[in-house]
Structure 1
C-alpha cells in the first residue's frame, strides 16, 4: 500500500506494519523487553502455583470445599478496586510501582509459610497481597509501548498473552501436583522466590523513567480514577473495544468455570470425569497459544484490525453445538477452536486499544479494562453456575453461547469505521513522549542523477520506521 501521508491510515498499518524487521528476534533483542517479559512470566507462574497450592492448603486444614473455593475466589476481590489502584500507579514511575509491588507480595506470601496459620489469617493475607496485582499489572501494560515502540507492540502483546496462557497451564498443573503429592508450602516457597526474582529483573533490567503524571496534574485519586473511566467509556473507539473485550470474556470463561460440572454431566464413567474436566479446562489456553502464534505469523498485518468484528463473533458461536451434549473430547475441541480465535483476536484488540490511548492515561485505562475483565469473569461464572443448578450444563453453555453470538453480531454491526481508528491513533500519537516517537526519515541529498533530471526526489520511507 502506498505511503501517502495525506491518506488516513488504518489502525492495522499503524499497529503492525508488514515490516520484516518486526520479528520475534527483533522484539527479544531489546534488553529492557527481555527483563520485562521474564519478570512478567515468572510472576504469572508464581501466582498460578500459589493459587493452586493455597486451595489445597486450606482444604487440608478445614476439609471445607467452600473455604477452599473462597481462597481461590478471593483473588478476584482486589479487582473491584482495580481502577483506583491503577490510578495510584499512574502517579508514580512504573518501574518503582512494579518493584515495590513485587517486594510487598514477596513478604506477604512468605507469611503463608508459617505453620498452623489460621485460615481467616490466610484469607486476609491473600486479600492484601492481591491488592498489589492491579497496580503492577497496569504499570507493566502502560510501560510496554514505551519499551518496545509502537511498531513492535502487537507482536510483543502476542508474545505476552501467549506466555500468560502457558504459565496458567503450567502453574495450575505443577502447583496442584506438588501441593497434593508433597506439601503446598513448597509451591508457596517457590512463589516467594519468583517475586524476589521478578523485582530483581525490573530493578536491573529496566531503566528509570519519570512518572507520566506530574505533581501539578494530580487532583484527587477518585477524580483521577473517574478520568480513566470517562476516557475508556466516553471515547467511541475505546468504548467499542472495551465492550467487545468484556462481552467475549463473559462468554469465553464459561467452559473453564463449568468444566467440572460439564464433565460430570456428559461422562457416565466416574474414572474418566477427571480427564474430561482437564481436557475442557486446558483446551482454551492451548488454543489461545496456538492461535496467537500462528495467526500473527501468517496473516498480513494490515488485515488484522479489519478482521476484528468477524473474529469477535466466532468464540461464542463455536460453542453453540454444546446443546447437543457431545462427549468430553468433542466439547474440548469446541473450546479449543474458540481459544484459537481468541488467540488471534485478543493481541490485535489490545494493540489497537493501546495506540488509541493518550499518554498519561495508560495505567488508568488498563486498570479499568483489567478490572472489567476480572469482574466479567466472576459474574459469568456465578451466573452460569446458578443456571447449571437447574438445567443441564450442555444446555446452559449452548444457550449462553448462542446469546453471545447474537450480542457479538450486534456489536460487529456497529463497529467503528477504519477512519475512526485512524483519527484516534493519530490523536494519541500526538501526545507521545519523545522516546516513543518514530525517528525522522532520512533525507537523501540530491545526487548526480537528480541534477540531470532536476527532480531532487526524496525516497519514500516506511510508515513505521525504527523507534528512536
Structure 2
C-alpha cells in the first residue's frame, strides 16, 4: 500500500497495543528520572565544590557520551535480545544513581562514572526505537514516535519543576534515590510487559568493529545518508538558537524555553493527528523551512512575549517536519541493522545539537545573542532547502497506459 492509499492511524490505535503502553510507560519513567538525576548531580557537585561552572558541566554531562557510544557501540542494539538490553539499561541507571548518592565518591569519580555509564545510553535508546516498527507497522509507528517526542518535550516542561521540588524536599542524595526507584519500576514494567523477542542480527566480529562497519555502510548509502542529514541539521540549528535564549532573556528565559518545548509537542500532535501519511511526508520540507523563518524575527529584538511566540512557532516546525521522515527512514534501512540505524540518527542529532549550540554561541560572541539567533534562522532555511531531495518524498510513478489494440 502506498502512502497515498494508506489510511492514517490514530493515537487510540497506538495505545491499544499493550507492548507500546509498556514502552511508553518505561520511557516516561526514564525521561522523568533523567531530569531528576541531572538536577541532583548538578546540585551535588555544586555543594561539594561551590563551582557554578562544574555544576553546569555536570548537568550537561549526560549528553556527551552519545558521540562515543554512537560511534563504537551501537551494534549491540541489534545483537542482544531487546528486552534484556533495555532492562540492563534500567539496572545500570539504578546502580549509577545509588553510587552517586551514597558511595561518597570524589567529584572527579562521579563525573567519570556518569560518562562511562552514559556510553551505553544511545544503545538502550536505539533498542526502544527499533522495536516500534515491528510492534506498530505503517502509520501507527509514526504516531508512536510522535507520542515519545511529546513525552520528551513534556518532561522538559514539567521535569525541571518536579525535579526541583524533589530536590528541595529530599536533597541531592534523596533525589538520586528517587531516580533509582523510578528505574527499578521501569525495569519491572519491561520484564512483565514485553515479550522476549530475539535479536535482529548476529553481527560479524566484535561490537566495535561491527558498529564501525555498519555506520560506514549506512553513511555510504545515498538515500540513508540524506535522511540522516535531514534529521540532524535543521533541528540542530534550531536547538542552537534555543540555547541563546538564556543570554538573550536572562532570568525570564525559562518562560521562552517552556514555550519552545510546548511548540515541539504541538508540532508533533497537530502533524501526527491531523495530517494523513502522504500529506505529512510532503510537509517535511515546508515545515523544516518554517522552523527557521520565525527565528529571523530576533533581528527586531523582541521582548519576552515575542520571543516566546517565536520559540513556539520555530519548534512547531522542528517537531512536525521530523514525523514526515520516519516512515521513509524505516523503509530505507535493512531490518537487521534497524537498531543501529535509529541509534546513529539519535546520536547524530544529540551531537549536532551540541555542535549547533556551540556554533551559535561563537556567533553570539562575535555579534550579539539576538543577531546570532537571527543568523541561525537563515542557516536553518538554507540547509533545509539544500536538503530538499531528502526532505521531499519521491514522486509516485504511474503505471503506463496500455497501448490501444
TM-score (norm 2): 0.92
Cα displacement (A) at 1:151: 4.1
Cα displacement (A) at 1:99: 0.8
Cα displacement (A) at 1:13: 4.2
- Within 5 A, what are the aligned runs for 1:211-290? 211-214=199-202, 217-264=203-250, 274=251, 276-290=252-266
1:158-199 deviations in whole A, cap 9, x for unaligned? 111111111222222221343246512232121101111111
- Within 5 A, what are the aligned runs for 1:271-350? 274=251, 276-350=252-326
Contact 1:288/1:340 (<8 A) preserved: yes
The structure 2 residue matched to 1:58, chosen from 20, 25, 45, is 45
**Unaligned regions of 5+ residues in structure 1, if any?**
4-8, 265-273, 423-468
- Within 5 A, what are the aligned runs for 1:12-411? 12-13=3-4, 17-19=6-8, 22-83=9-70, 84-114=72-102, 116-180=104-168, 182-214=170-202, 217-264=203-250, 274=251, 276-411=252-387
Contact 2:240/2:359 (<8 A) preserved: no
Contact 2:77/2:124 (<8 A) preserved: yes
Cα displacement (A) at 1:116: 4.7
SS at match of 2:283: helix
What is the number of equivalent residue pairs in this alignment?
397
Return closer, same or farther for 1:129/1:421 CA change in 2, 3 Å cut-off. Answer: farther
In 2, the alpha carbon distance for the partners of 1:94 and 1:70 equals 32
Contact 1:229/1:368 (<8 A) preserved: yes
Contact 1:356/1:421 (<8 A) preserved: no
Contact 2:32/2:155 (<8 A) preserved: yes
Cα displacement (A) at 1:68: 0.7
Return closer, same or farther for 1:415/1:37 CA change in 2, 3 Å cut-off. Answer: closer
Return closer, same or farther for 1:412/1:151 CA change in 2, 3 Å cut-off. Answer: closer
1:309-348 deviations in whole A, cap 9, x for unaligned? 1211111222011111110210111010011122222223
Contact 1:48/1:171 (<8 A) preserved: yes
Query: Which residue in 2 is equivalent to 1:412?
Result: 388
Return closer, same or farther for 1:172/1:421 CA change in 2, 3 Å cut-off. Answer: farther
1:133-155 deviations in whole A, cap 9, x for unaligned? 11110110111111222341111
Query: Which residue in 2 is equivalent to 1:427?
Result: none
Contact 1:228/1:368 (<8 A) preserved: no
Contact 2:259/2:311 (<8 A) preserved: yes
Question: More helix per residue: 1 or 2?
Answer: 2
Tell which structure's C-alpha radius of gyration is larger: 1
Contact 2:281/2:393 (<8 A) preserved: no
Contact 1:248/1:312 (<8 A) preserved: yes
In 1, the alpha carbon distance for the partners of 2:69 and 2:120 equals 9
In 2, the alpha carbon distance for the partners of 1:279 and 1:421 equals 48
In 1, the alpha carbon distance for the partners of 2:74 and 2:288 equals 27
Cα displacement (A) at 1:413: 5.7
In 1, the alpha carbon distance for the partners of 2:33 and 2:376 equals 33
1:13-45 deviations in whole A, cap 9, x for unaligned? 48xx225xx322221111111111101111111
SS at match of 1:355: helix
1:61-111 deviations in whole A, cap 9, x for unaligned? 211111111112221221122232211232111111101111122111111
Contact 1:237/1:421 (<8 A) preserved: no
SS at match of 1:319: helix
Contact 1:32/1:147 (<8 A) preserved: yes
Contact 1:231/1:365 (<8 A) preserved: no
Return closer, same or farther for 1:134/1:47 CA change in 2, 3 Å cut-off. Answer: same
Return closer, same or farther for 1:420/1:252 CA change in 2, 3 Å cut-off. Answer: farther
In 2, the alpha carbon distance for the partners of 1:340 and 1:179 equals 31
Query: Which stretch has the larger CA shift, 171-180 or 336-345?
Result: 171-180
